[in-house]
């Protein structure tokens, strides 16, 4: 003979075969007996102290329980929320699914809703889609209140009070989304030895760098006279050339060396960071510049680093800059601060959550500055991004020498 449990709304709920099962759990801590396994029988009390638990019912209803919470399973279409909060997705076939609480109950009419039970037993009902009926256990119990999409209601000792908005709706988790795991693909270039199959320096030694920004350096010889590898001290010497990406002037001899991100698993959506250690920052003349770039070709890229502003004759301190170039002309130029010559710098160009920024750390003074520009939409979704180092003397053929101690690339790829 099946046992029965009293129901404050009349009738009895049979306690017999299993009525639900735990389908998914994320970061869960259970109060006792560990994780529930197998079928869950009527009368089973789930005490979730932390995390998210997805409970499925044979009717097709799905409940996401958010810890800390206590839920009692009554029947295939009925649960009692003692504390905490849950969301329920109920298909039309499971219409009538109900969530009981101390002060009342919610009856589904084929919808998606959330229920939160406070310490005093009162319940907040939020309807995300469709309609539910909210009943009070005490006064007004005979008159259920309809709660529709984008509405909410409070069920308390005084009855049901309807609210036209959805206060607290953002606090409900409607679906357990598997956490995204990332693998870091990283490579550091320390210039302590020649690397075969890479861009060659003046003496024919492989620098480790593999690509140029497309559109640049087409007329440079295979043994690049502007690159000198110094393995004994772990340095790459880059000599600037007269060229200007703004206007695409003499870029066929421009020094824009680096790597292709697709070689690190980049597919167009991943975040990445590229950095360079620049010891003993060089003396620059008017509009001379050095730094890092990211882009698909010479006229579609962003770049930033150090620049001697135009109008400042002679040589002297540099300004930090960050700029986008879409179509061959620089736009949204940002400049800030002053950097003295002869200091040790770390430059980093990164994309985090799809947004770009440039950071310059002055290791000599201990200060750092971050710059952002208007988001370069023209790079969104581009699968073939190139990143690297550059140096240019746009207005004159007066070479400058840039020393690079380390070049590093990080790409965070999603794990399947």
Q: What is the DSSP letter of 283?
A: P
Q: Quick one: which of 111, 115, 13, 19 has its CA closest to 64?
A: 115
Stronger pLDDT, 274 or 339, i.e. the higher one: 274
- Helix, strand or coil, per DSSP, at residue 94: helix
Fold identical between 3-171 and 182-414? yes
Contact in structure between 408 and 189 (CB atoms under 8 Å)? yes
pLDDT value at residue 14 = 38
Reading the block at residue 231, the tokens are 């393995």
In the chain, where the domains are located: 3-171, 182-414
Rg (CA), the chain: 32
Contact in structure between 288 and 240 (CB atoms under 8 Å)? yes
CA distance 191 to 407: 9
Question: In the predicted model, is pLDDT for residue 307 greater than 60?
Answer: yes
3-state helix, strand, coil in the chain (%, to 5): 5, 55, 45
- pLDDT, one tens digit per residue, over 14-43 is 344 789 998 888 888 888 666 676 778 899
CA distance 34 to 19: 19
Average pLDDT, the chain: 89
CATH 3.30.360.10 assigned to domain 182-414? The reply is: no
The 10 Å Cβ neighbour count of residue 358 is: 25
Question: In the predicted model, is pLDDT for residue 262 greater than 60?
Answer: yes
Question: In the predicted model, is pLDDT for residue 55 greater than 60?
Answer: yes
Q: Which fold has domain 3-171?
A: Jelly Rolls (2.60.120)
Confidence of residue 141 (pLDDT cuts 50, 70, 90): low
Mean pLDDT of the region 61-74: 96
Q: Which of 151-160, 174-183, 296-305, 334-343 has the highest mean pLDDT?
A: 296-305
Question: In the predicted model, is pLDDT for residue 2 greater than 70?
Answer: no
* 319 contact partners, CB below 8 Å, separation of at least 6: 306, 307, 308, 309, 335, 336, 337, 338, 339
Q: Quick one: which of 193, 230, 262, 260 has its CA closest to 401?
A: 230
- pLDDT, one tens digit per residue, over 178-196 is 777 778 899 999 999 999 9
């Amino acid at each position: 003979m099946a046992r029965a449990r009293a129901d404050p709304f009349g009738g009895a709920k049979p306690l017999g075969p299993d009525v639900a099962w735990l389908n998914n759990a994320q970061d869960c801590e259970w109060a006792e007996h560990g994780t529930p396994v197998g079928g869950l029988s009527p009368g089973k009390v789930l005490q979730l102290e932390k995390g998210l638990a997805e409970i499925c019912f044979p009717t097709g209803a799905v409940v996401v329980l958010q810890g800390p919470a206590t839920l009692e399973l009554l029947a295939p279409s009925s649960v009692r929320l003692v504390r905490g909060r849950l969301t329920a997705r109920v298909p039309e076939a499971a219409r009538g699914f109900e969530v009981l609480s101390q002060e009342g109950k919610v009856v589904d009419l084929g919808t998606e809703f959330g229920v939160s039970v406070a310490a005093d037993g009162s319940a907040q009902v939020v309807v995300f889609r469709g309609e539910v009926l909210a009943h009070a256990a005490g006064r007004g119990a005979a008159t259920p209140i309809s709660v529709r999409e984008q509405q909410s209601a409070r069920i308390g000792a005084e009855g049901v009070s309807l609210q036209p908005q959805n206060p607290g709706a953002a606090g409900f988790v409607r679906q357990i989304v598997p956490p995204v795991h990332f693998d870091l693909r990283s490579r550091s270039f320390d210039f302590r030895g020649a690397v075969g199959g890479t861009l060659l320096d003046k003496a024919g030694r492989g620098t480790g760098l593999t690509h140029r920004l497309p559109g640049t350096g087409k007329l440079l010889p295979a043994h690049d006279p502007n690159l000198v590898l110094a393995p004994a001290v772990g340095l790459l010497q880059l000599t600037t050339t007269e060229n200007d990406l703004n206007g695409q002037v003499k870029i066929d001899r421009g020094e824009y060396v680096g790597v292709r991100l697709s070689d690190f698993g980049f597919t167009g959506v991943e975040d990445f960071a590229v950095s360079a250690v620049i010891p003993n920052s060089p003396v620059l003349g008017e509009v001379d510049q050095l730094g890092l770039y990211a882009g698909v070709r010479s006229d579609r890229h962003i770049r930033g680093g150090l620049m001697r502003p135009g109008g400042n004759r002679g040589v002297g301190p540099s300004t930090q800059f960050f700029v986008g170039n879409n179509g061959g002309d620089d736009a949204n130029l940002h400049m800030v601060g002053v950097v003295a010559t002869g200091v040790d710098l770390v430059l980093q160009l990164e994309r985090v959550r799809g947004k770009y920024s440039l950071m310059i750390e002055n290791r000599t003074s201990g200060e750092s500055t971050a710059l952002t520009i208007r988001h370069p939409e023209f790079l969104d979704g581009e699968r073939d991004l190139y990143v690297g180092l550059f140096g240019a003397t746009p207005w004159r053929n007066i070479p400058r020498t840039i020393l690079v101690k380390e070049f590093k690339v990080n790409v965070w790829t999603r794990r399947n």
